[in-house]
Structure 1
Amino acid sequence: MAPIAIFLSLLPTCALSGKRPNILFLMTDSMDGRVIDPQATQAQAVELPFLRDFLSSEGTNFVRTYVNSPQCVPSRTSMCTGRRTDQIQTWSNEKGLAASLDGTLDDGCVSFYGKDQCASWAKQQNYSETIFTGLAKLGYGVNLYGKIDIGAAIMNDKKVRATTAALGWHTGPNLQIVTRSADIRRPTKQRPLELTKENVDHVHPEDWQTVERCQEWIQKLPPAEQNAEPFFLYCSLDIPHPAFKTNATWLAKVKEDKIELPQWPQGFPQSWHPYDSYMSISKHVEEMNYTTEEIMKVRKTYYAMCAEADYLLNRVWLSLTAKGYGLNNTFLVYVSDHGEMNMEHRQIWKNSMYEASTRVPFAIAGPGVAKGHRVTQLTSLVDVLPTLLDMGQETNWDRHVGLAGKSVLQLAGATSFAPAQFVVTPQEPRAIFAQYHSNMANTGSYMVRKGPWKYISFGHTLAAFSPKVYTPLLLNVDEDPSELQNLAAQRGQIVEQLEAELRMLLDPSEIDSRAKREDFHIYKRFFGSLCQDELRKKLKANYQGFDDGDFEKLQKWAKEISATLPPEGSPTTFVV
């Protein structure tokens, strides 16, 4: 079998009272959850015979599942630890989990930030398990292939690095991230059409290699009736993450006449919410002359990438069933870390609290799981870890008291081994939360999703983000699926109720301030000592069209945020 990280192989395992079910965990990056919901309009645009049709007919589809933070590293660390982003302080793609559970510092973190900083962060990050360590303790053989992107020293082992990708630290200190709250309104990405190609012969070779490695591992499995050790096989793709690249094979799966042209509100950018206009500009979708054909070209290319992901992950499942494994002895789980805006609200990438970005697939099939079941109860990616533990028949739930989510296994009709406080029930009046503190957004944002409502509020640290300007949004997602009608002014009582729900869970002002201060500390350490000419050069490389007015804005930002820092000698999470 494929090598497992040393830290996993050293974990103690529980004595099994009968074989636990296997778990095949399939993951994509940037899959809009609505594409996987057969009843959603977006699902009509592309053929997905495995991820949508098979899982919808043979399993349970949680069609209202949301991320905890809509970016790769923040979302994956939250999902894998079962903790909220503010609890583990993985604010952005430049900061994953700084150490493993035994205190081993992550090599990626050390290479970018040094041992002292990583040790300081490790003390602050509040987690006690991951999906991988939790299942290993239950006796699972844990096998990892493809994109991980959480840090936690998982990829310190060169054998693990040979079959996996994404350290959880991306490029390390990132000028666009750490200066986001300077509110520099310049493009930081390529134009959507520059990222879109429809005639690439060999698309996404890294994902094909991941699938081949998963298939090779499966080929070495003994027949199902002879396999004594339950396995957890993690196969994670990068597609349909941008850039948007495809070819005629996958475009043939797209139904162009079923692709909706997104509605863009009038008056950009002056009449738009300043958070949204900043995001559109940062993503380089601010230009006014997009034609219908150009918008649809991006959208259909994205859907074609979804079709490719469907084909690839189906190959993994078919290889497993060819060895005699099936839904009688193996749970099949499919998720994505976040969605893709795909030109909705004049945006691409993710990062937003709109449905295309925050709503993600979550589907399961396997022993006892109801077939053809569509669950509309609100769920979250923080529910994934407790659900997997429940699939693994965990009985010692006392060691999981810090989890932010609950098991959804009972919602799927299967037997749950979790106590009541760890189980989502069908009639539970549940609220789901999300937050975001990274690039392409100039201030923190928070989402509360409850019933038909979506409430979005913003961080107000620094004068540019005054509550009078960065006002909240209230959307009725059921009646307004395009999320174009802000009802906050008309439904003040609902706004107050959802704001109270948010503040019962966390302090949005404190968290926004903490994330921005940490950004500034990184800026000071890695960019603050540069001579002015060198700093300007780097800023121009990160912000297209950066000029003297922008530099003046940056200097004012640095002065203002310096005044918010704690006095010298106060506790800090950053090593200077």
Structure 2
Amino acid sequence: MAAPGDDFAFTKALTSRSSKPHPAAGTVQQEPHCHLRRKYTSLQRKAWHRGGGQSLEQGRPTWAAGGALGLRGPWEAIRARSPPSTAARPPRAGRQALAAGKAAAAKRGRHHRHHDPSPPPCFTPPTSAPATWHCRPRAGALLPQDCDTPSQPPFFPGTAAVRRCPALRCDRGPGSCFRSCCSSRSGSGGQGGGQCGGREPLRRAGLALLLLAAGAGARPRPAAPGVQAPSSVVLVACDSLDGRLTFFPGNQTVDLPSINFMKRYGTVFLNAYTNSPICCPSRAAMWSGLFTHLTESWNNFKGLDPDYVTWMDLMEKHGYHTQKFGKLDYTSGHHSVSNRVEAWTRDVHFLLRQEGRPMVNLTGDRKRVRVMEADWRNTDKAVNWIKEEAVNLTQPFVLYLGLNLPHPYPSPYAGENFGSSTFLTSPYWLEKVTYEAIKIPKWSSLSEMHPVDYYSSYTKNCTGEFTEEEVRNIRAFYYAMCAETDAMLGEIISALRDTGLLRKAVVIFTADHGELAMEHRQFYKMSMYEGSSHVPLLVMGPGVKEQQEIPNVVSLVDIYPTMLDIARIPVPQNLSGYSLIPLLHKKTESEVSPSGPRPSWVLSEFHGCNVNSSVYMLRTGKWKYIAYSDGCSVLPQLFDLTADPDELTNVAIKFPLIVRSLDKILRSIVNYPKVSSSVQEYNKRQFISWKQSLGQNYSSVIANLRWHQDWLKEQKKYENAIDKWLGE
């Protein structure tokens, strides 16, 4: 059986483990004729303006007449002789250069606007590149100059290699582009006030783009003259994927060809964070655009109300066709009884193991590809929907696919009400992992651990002895599970590619949180350390710059306004997040949304199980500041992520001024002592209500939750501890 995604033409190029960085987007290989090209395009620009935006010879946009689709005539003229300096050039120089190009083309026996497979002189094509060369001009671009360095043709073989022209404004391509490119944010509605609309020459230029798109198999949506239709959107959200695996050096441990593909033809955010490192609260933030203390999604049991208006609801209201498959998990009432009771009783003075010991399990053989069957079924549903329904839609669509991988699997060996502490995969996926590149994390001694970290490590059953081989295997199996997740993303990309929708849809890939995978003597999430809080965030599609790495700190609450921005829906002013579109388009602060410039920090908070305190994290610049509870009863942590990326040294005592400054910023965002107190009161109310609902069955039920192995040893002791807590 062929592995999913193996038919990608780009797999071999993108799965290389070489640490050499990709060339920056927009770079070209310089050759002797490059200075001539710059002079020639300057002449073309002058000729364009004199001709009212039209070719002097054909009455068409210059690039449509020959610049983008065939450069042989003008390039031959440049090869024949070097034009004089543009500063000393007489007014008719532009016409003379074009006439020279036409004459050279006529001498060869072909018109210069006919297609020529040879590339411009400044390009050195790869040996595997197809014989067809195009330069795709940006919307609003007047000339076809400054195309990117040729590379493997994007998306699939057999299609003309489309080259992006980054000279001006946004890259619409043969699909659609974002609101921020094609309409004015100041209320012009895109009719002349924006960057792309309101100009007759550009409308004719758009027609040429559509013709080019038709040649590449795309099916552009109809739109009003001068106005680009909103893009379709595909969001794939997985569970527990460490965002550091999407860039160097983390990406050296496992082959992730689909993620690499999105990096090559899109943008990766290097510092994206969850707003709460646990499933339901994190997803509630992503679907609401609000911080956790505003949604009051305190644990995996408490999320959004079922009738909460999400970004998908608004997009559907504004004409989008919407479709969801797989894991959602942002509303209240889900997850096990153990999960919620452990969260409610976190302030009780006892210490109980609540998870099975983390372990690995190898299943099947080298032909076993579909290990996580439920995720594959949902992926198949999404693929079929793209191929059978999305391709026939006349309106833009938004598709959401939620995956459970690479979340650890349940551990039934742990007995009744077991947790999920098993890292399971097959040899097929394990072979994608480079064992030599796996880093064995350093651990502090139990006596030196922060008190909250010790509580987490103990309740996660990680305070025992682990050999180096055990730790390496847990991490290797986790990376293999990430590889399987990547293949599902690849299936979605393949389906979009096969239907011609890939060039017209914005594709976003992210996760609800990360996975510690034995860093800091823990597995799972529920921590503000990088492995748990750092999430992947990659964006690819019309208007998104290729091979771009954005260092700004962002978080999942930014998904909500970004979705609305893509759909050109007014963004509510009360959201916690900010649209990512200005970052994707490199806009200045004066061009950002009315909500103002993006802050230089992100906030994450946690109030659930396996942690005996509310936790608040502020990430800004090189600093990560972590405050607990009321800010006094538990010592804070401060990490310099530049000097200490593994977060092994708490420098809070060393830099008291930094701590005070960051704590002041944190308190300006959220009154965290008050929020912590509210969570404590909520936990007691919920536990009392649950206890009363059980009646005489209370003692039996609470004894057989996930902590049963410890609880049953001293049942009366633990019940008394709870009674004392309720009486406080």
Aligned pairs for 1:234-249 within 5 A: 234-243=400-409, 244-249=423-428
Deviations 1:107-139 (A, max 9, x none): xxxxxxxxxxxxxxxxxxxxxx31211211332
Whether the 8 Å contact between 1:295 and 1:343 is mirrored in structure 2 is yes
Aligned pairs for 1:200-215 within 5 A: 200=364, 203-215=371-383
- Letter matched to residue 238 of structure 1: N
Q: Which residue of 2 aligns with 1:338?
A: 513
Query: Partners in 2 of 1:214 and 1:557 — Cα distance?
Result: 48
Whether the 8 Å contact between 2:236 and 2:401 is mirrored in structure 1 is yes
Q: Which residue of 2 aligns with 1:448?
A: 618
Query: Partners in 1 of 2:498 and 2:333 — Cα distance?
Result: 34
Tell me which structure has the larger Cα radius of gyration: 2
Deviation, structure 1 residue 74 = 0.0
From the superposition, tell whether residues 499 and 361 of structure 1 become closer, same or farther in structure 2 (CA, over 3 Å). same
Deviation, structure 1 residue 555 = 2.4
Q: Which residue of 2 aligns with 1:366?
A: 541
Whether the 8 Å contact between 2:390 and 2:397 is mirrored in structure 1 is no
Whether the 8 Å contact between 1:390 and 1:417 is mirrored in structure 2 is no
Q: Is 1:231 matched up with 2:397?
A: yes
Query: Partners in 1 of 2:349 and 2:378 — Cα distance?
Result: 39
Query: Partners in 1 of 2:596 and 2:261 — Cα distance?
Result: 24
Q: Which residue of 2 aligns with 1:392?
A: 567
Query: Partners in 2 of 1:418 and 1:553 — Cα distance?
Result: 57
Q: Which residue of 2 aligns with 1:189?
A: 355
Counterpart pick for 1:551 among 708, 711, 719? 719
From the superposition, tell whether residues 143 and 529 of structure 1 become closer, same or farther in structure 2 (CA, over 3 Å). closer
Q: Which residue of 2 aligns with 1:411?
A: 583
Q: Is 1:198 matched up with 2:366?
A: no
- Letter matched to residue 245 of structure 1: L
Q: Is 1:261 matched up with 2:440?
A: yes
Q: Which residue of 2 aligns with 1:305?
A: 481
Query: Partners in 2 of 1:459 and 1:507 — Cα distance?
Result: 11
Q: Is 1:169 matched up with 2:348?
A: no
Q: Is 1:135 matched up with 2:135?
A: no
Q: Which residue of 2 aligns with 1:50?
A: 258
Secondary structure of 1:63's partner? strand
Q: Which residue of 2 aligns with 1:36?
A: 246
Q: Is 1:495 matched up with 2:651?
A: no
Deviation, structure 1 residue 42 = 2.2
Deviation, structure 1 residue 536 = 6.1
Q: Is 1:323 matched up with 2:499?
A: yes
Whether the 8 Å contact between 1:175 and 1:542 is mirrored in structure 2 is no
TM-score normalized by the length of structure 2: 0.63
Aligned pairs for 1:408-557 within 5 A: 408-413=580-585, 420-421=592-593, 430-460=600-630, 467-468=632-633, 470-528=634-692, 534-535=698-699, 538-539=702-703, 541-543=705-707, 544-546=709-711, 547=714, 548-557=716-725
- Letter matched to residue 502 of structure 2: G
Whether the 8 Å contact between 1:410 and 1:424 is mirrored in structure 2 is no
Query: Partners in 2 of 1:207 and 1:360 — Cα distance?
Result: 20
Deviation, structure 1 residue 539 = 3.4
Q: Is 1:180 matched up with 2:388?
A: no
Deviation, structure 1 residue 417 = 13
Deviations 1:28-50 (A, max 9, x none): 1100000112x2x3221100011
Deviations 1:390-441 (A, max 9, x none): 11122x33xx01110101112112789997345786xx66111110000001
From the superposition, tell whether residues 263 and 424 of structure 1 become closer, same or farther in structure 2 (CA, over 3 Å). farther
Whether the 8 Å contact between 1:190 and 1:284 is mirrored in structure 2 is yes
Secondary structure of 1:356's partner? helix
Secondary structure of 2:351's partner? coil
- Letter matched to residue 245 of structure 2: V
Deviation, structure 1 residue 296 = 0.9
Secondary structure of 2:440's partner? coil
- Letter matched to residue 514 of structure 1: S
Q: Which residue of 2 aligns with 1:119?
A: none
Deviation, structure 1 residue 291 = 0.3
Whether the 8 Å contact between 1:338 and 1:350 is mirrored in structure 2 is yes
Whether the 8 Å contact between 1:180 and 1:443 is mirrored in structure 2 is yes
- Letter matched to residue 374 of structure 1: E
Whether the 8 Å contact between 1:33 and 1:359 is mirrored in structure 2 is yes
Deviations 1:514-548 (A, max 9, x none): 11211111110111575788426523533231224
Query: Partners in 2 of 1:236 and 1:531 — Cα distance?
Result: 38
Q: Which residue of 1 aligns with 2:232?
A: 22
Deviations 1:9-45 (A, max 9, x none): xxxxxx98652111111111100000112x2x32211
Query: Partners in 1 of 2:440 and 2:321 — Cα distance?
Result: 46
Q: Which residue of 2 aligns with 1:571?
A: none
Q: Which residue of 1 aligns with 2:172?
A: none
Deviations 1:118-174 (A, max 9, x none): xxxxxxxxxxx31211211332111000101112xxxxxxxxxxxxxxx76223583
Deviation, structure 1 residue 237 = 0.7
Query: Partners in 2 of 1:250 and 1:424 — Cα distance?
Result: 45
Whether the 8 Å contact between 2:274 and 2:604 is mirrored in structure 1 is yes
Q: Is 1:95 matched up with 2:302?
A: yes
Query: Partners in 2 of 1:205 and 1:445 — Cα distance?
Result: 35
From the superposition, tell whether residues 429 and 505 of structure 1 become closer, same or farther in structure 2 (CA, over 3 Å). closer
Query: Partners in 2 of 1:330 and 1:423 — Cα distance?
Result: 26
Query: Partners in 1 of 2:302 and 2:639 — Cα distance?
Result: 31
Query: Partners in 1 of 2:267 and 2:334 — Cα distance?
Result: 34
Q: Which residue of 1 aligns with 2:470?
A: 294
From the superposition, tell whether residues 222 and 43 of structure 1 become closer, same or farther in structure 2 (CA, over 3 Å). closer
Q: Which has the higher contact order (CA 8 A, sep 6+)?
A: 1
Deviation, structure 1 residue 190 = 0.8
Q: Which residue of 2 aligns with 1:145?
A: 325
Query: Partners in 1 of 2:596 and 2:508 — Cα distance?
Result: 17
Deviations 1:325-360 (A, max 9, x none): 123x11011110000010000111100000000000
Whether the 8 Å contact between 1:30 and 1:239 is mirrored in structure 2 is yes
From the superposition, tell whether residues 261 and 467 of structure 1 become closer, same or farther in structure 2 (CA, over 3 Å). same
Q: Which residue of 2 aligns with 1:271?
A: 448
From the superposition, tell whether residues 355 and 434 of structure 1 become closer, same or farther in structure 2 (CA, over 3 Å). same
- Letter matched to residue 363 of structure 1: L
Q: Is 1:84 matched up with 2:260?
A: no
Deviation, structure 1 residue 69 = 0.5
Whether the 8 Å contact between 2:582 and 2:592 is mirrored in structure 1 is no
Whether the 8 Å contact between 1:410 and 1:423 is mirrored in structure 2 is no
Segments of structure 2 that go 5 or more residues without pairing to the other structure are 1-222, 410-422
From the superposition, tell whether residues 418 and 335 of structure 1 become closer, same or farther in structure 2 (CA, over 3 Å). farther
What CA RMSD, in Å, does the superposition of the two structures yield over aligned residues?
2.3
Whether the 8 Å contact between 1:97 and 1:168 is mirrored in structure 2 is no
From the superposition, tell whether residues 429 and 403 of structure 1 become closer, same or farther in structure 2 (CA, over 3 Å). closer
Whether the 8 Å contact between 2:280 and 2:329 is mirrored in structure 1 is yes
Whether the 8 Å contact between 2:252 and 2:434 is mirrored in structure 1 is yes
Deviations 1:29-78 (A, max 9, x none): 100000112x2x32211000112x11111111011001110110000011
Query: Partners in 2 of 1:486 and 1:207 — Cα distance?
Result: 39
Query: Partners in 1 of 2:507 and 2:521 — Cα distance?
Result: 35
Q: Is 1:382 matched up with 2:557?
A: yes
- Letter matched to residue 43 of structure 1: N
Whether the 8 Å contact between 1:177 and 1:439 is mirrored in structure 2 is yes
Q: Is 1:67 matched up with 2:274?
A: yes
Whether the 8 Å contact between 1:368 and 1:414 is mirrored in structure 2 is no
Whether the 8 Å contact between 2:573 and 2:595 is mirrored in structure 1 is no
Percent identity of equivalent pairs: 31
